[in-house]
Each structure stands twice: as C-alpha cells, then as structure tokens.
Structure 1
Amino acid sequence: MNPDDPGRLAALDSYDILYSAREKLFDDVVELASYIFSVPVARIAFVQPQAVWHKASAGMEPQEVLAPEQSLCPRAIVAPEPVLVYPDLEATPDQSTPAMRARNLRFYAGAPLQTSQGHCLGTLCLAGYEARQFTVAEQGLLRQLAALVMQALEARRHLRTAQTPTAWEKLRREAEEILHNQMAMVRYLKARGAGQVPVPETLLTPIGKQLAEVAQVLTVAG
C-alpha cells in the first residue's frame, strides 16, 4: 500500500476528522488502551503525506503533529503484519526515529485504522519506555480496539451528514456512557490479573466481550 495513494487520502478526507476538536469518546478509547495493556502511551494517529496528526493521546501531548519520518505510524499502515510491533527499539536503533529516541521510547505497537474498502487511515498505537513482548492475543485485542475506532468514525461521518445535526453528539454520549460503565469491569479484570504484562489471554477474552457491547451501539447507528 502506498501511503500517498490518492484513494487513501480521499478516504481520509471523507471522514472530516483531520484537525478536528478533541472528542471524549476517542480520548476515552486511548485511555482505555493504555490501561488495558499497561503502557504509558496510547494514541489515535492519522497519516498524511506531510504530517502525522494525533486525534487523541494518553500519556503525550494531545493533537500533536509530527513529521512522517518522526513517527512509526506511516510504517504501520503499510506493514504486511496486521499489527506492527517493535518489542525493543533500543536493541534495533535503525528501526527507531529521532523523536522516539528523544522521548526514550523503546516499545511500539500499531494497529491500522482500516476502512471497509481497505484504506488505512492511520493507527491506534501504543508506546512504552521499557522493552516488552506483545503477544498474539494482545495484538488481537488492539485490533479490536482499532476496529472500534473505525466504527466510531463511520458513525460520526454518517450521522454528521444526516438531516439531524445533533445525532452524532447524542450517539457519542451514549457510547461514552457505555464505555465508562465497561471500564469498571475492565478495572476489575485487570486488578484480578495483578497487572500482568503481557496481559494473559484469560483476561483479554472477557475484556473483548465488554468492548463488543460498545461496538454494537456504534455499528447499529452507523
């Protein structure tokens, strides 16, 4: 996939998401991702030809703009793997970027935000200051969270262009409330797992079921 493909860029523009104001639903998703995987940084990033813009961030500056060569997200949207993972960038400095090194970030995992037509708009990504393994099961849940972001984007685009201007705001608040309620269960499950890293599959499976309820709300509306 070419990150500068006109079809991909047209798809990205169609969501009217670039440089938009912060929205709690997306902020909540990155906060949840950071918590689930016990990493200090989680972000929703959109990749443009000349910039990578972060719609939501946990653990770093919100709405930050980075040059593409400073970010690993442009690689994640073209990688053959479903999730691009760098367990220890300190051990492979040629794979890192100046910004990652300046921030002492050693771990990265990025799951593409992919449309139903196959266009990768950006990533839901994680980063950490310590090297760590990221299991296949963890990758699967990160992909589920990325799919949840895409469902929110689809619902946002659909409802903002509908005849009821407030429809997206109403749905967003509903999804935020459900996500907030599910967080209580996620906290319980995480506490039961005593903060294990990597997160055991026995915890990821019930967490995934909780997230599916949020996705269902967004899917029905979108």
Structure 2
Amino acid sequence: MLDTTAISAKERQLALQSYDILHSAQEKLFDDLAELAAYIFSVPVARIAFVGTVEVWHKAGVGMPAQERMAPEQTLCSQAVLAEAPVLVFEELNTMPATAATQERAVRFYAGAPVRTAQGLAIGTVCLAGYEPRQFSAAEQQVLTQLATLVMRALEARQRLRKAGEAAWEQLRETAEATLHNQMAVVRYLKARSEGEVPVPAELLEPIAKRLEEVADVLRQAE
C-alpha cells in the first residue's frame, strides 16, 4: 500500500530545501516580521520557524533566541505544519516541554500558522507564545495567516531573485524592509489606541491587514 503520509513528508522536505533557508544568516526582513507579529498580538514570544526532518530551526524570533534549533518533539510547530486547521491554537496549555531548558516561565498559550508553498506544502510556521492563557479570535487567526503568507512571499522572492545574483534580492529586500518599517509605525499608532486589548479587536486588525498587504505588494515585484 502506498504510504501517502511519507510521500507528503518527503515533498515538504524537498520544498523546504529548495528555498535554502535552513541555517541561513539572520535577515532584517524576517526579524522585523517576527517583531511585528509579537507587537500586533501583544505576546512576549513570536518566531518564524522552519520544520526539517530532524530539527525545527528558528529563522527569526522575539522573546526567545533566533537561529535556534529544536527537536521536533520539543515544539508545537512540528504539529502546526500537520494540523488540518488553518491555525493551530492552544489557548490554555498545561505544560510545554519545549521551554523547559530555555525558559523559567512555562508557555501557556500557543498559536501557529503554517507557512505554505503555492502547492500547499507546509514548510514552517509563524508562531506566537505567551505565559498566560488567552483567547485567540478568528480575526486574529486570519491576520496571523496573512503574516505566514507574507513570509512565504519573502521566501519566493528570495529564491527567485538570488538566481540572478545576491544584489537583486538585496535591493528588493531593502525596499521591503523600508516599507515594513513605515507600516510598523502605523501599526504602533493603531495599537496604542486599543491600549493592548486582548483579543485584538477585529476593527483594529482590519487596517493592520491592509498595511501588511502593502508589504506583500513590494514582494510581488519579484514575480
């Protein structure tokens, strides 16, 4: 009998390898996206993680180290890439072994949106974590998914432009970083008006989503 699970896992790994992102150097664009995720959702931890066969590698992070490797069983990101739901959410965790060696405080909340290729293969996550239980609304899940899509667009642009040489990717990346920086200033203004309300109100998330789409428009220039 054909093992479709094994085939899917192999396809995911081949797709991940094609982007040459594992163990790559830190890049400000990805760092800023992780920072923005933490700020939008008022969480202490946000990470961009890529799920390999034997490790989960964190490209960028806020509140926990970037460039960190974890075994798949130590992190919920390895479950998020396999979940049927668009976002894997645990609003109240009793235990989170992944943080035992690195954090004095136990993670009680987790939300992870898969980073999916155009073929629908989940190769990583944009994930959030917190030390207190909290609700995570459908509107918040939608924006977290939008952030994961933005990470995928960055990967695609990075892959496509680097074939022509690093300079092309560096130029677009700098433009995207500048656009994201400008949008982050607007997001901070909008968030200040909500006084850190959790879950983040849907009426606040709507203009934030429009700001994220402007960054996506920059990355689309590589298509």
Q: TM-score, normalised by structure 2?
A: 0.94
TM-superposed deviation, 1:101: 5.0
Q: What does residue 35 of structure 1 align with?
A: 39
Distance in structure 1 (CA, Å) of the matches to 2:5 and 2:216: 29
Q: What does residue 10 of structure 2 align with?
A: 6
Q: What does residue 209 of structure 1 align with?
A: 210
SS of the aligned residue for 1:108 comes to: strand
Aligned residues with identical type, % of pairs: 62
Distance in structure 1 (CA, Å) of the matches to 2:66 and 2:131: 18
Distance in structure 2 (CA, Å) of the matches to 1:2 and 1:219: 32
Q: TM-score, normalised by structure 1?
A: 0.94
RMSD: 1.4
TM-superposed deviation, 1:184: 1.0
Q: What does residue 69 of structure 1 align with?
A: 73
> Structure 2: which amino acid aligns with 1:207?
I
Task: State how many pairs are aligned.
Answer: 216
Distance in structure 2 (CA, Å) of the matches to 1:5 and 1:72: 17
SS of the aligned residue for 2:166 comes to: coil
Q: Which one of the candidate residues 91, 114, 117 is aligned to 2:116? A: 114
Give the 4+ runs in structure 1 shifted more than 6 A: none
SS of the aligned residue for 1:45 comes to: strand
Distance in structure 1 (CA, Å) of the matches to 2:56 and 2:139: 27
Unaligned runs of 5+ in 2: none
TM-superposed deviation, 1:100: 3.6
TM-superposed deviation, 1:6: 1.5
TM-superposed deviation, 1:198: 0.5
Q: Deviations over 1:12-49 (max 9, x none)?
A: 00000010000000000000000000000000101111
How does 1:76-115 map onto structure 2 within 5 Å?
76-90=80-94, 93=95, 96=96, 98-100=97-99, 103=103, 104-115=106-117
> Structure 2: which amino acid aligns with 1:64?
E
> Structure 2: which amino acid aligns with 1:105?
V
Distance in structure 1 (CA, Å) of the matches to 2:163 and 2:208: 32
Q: What does residue 149 of structure 1 align with?
A: 151
Distance in structure 1 (CA, Å) of the matches to 2:206 and 2:83: 26
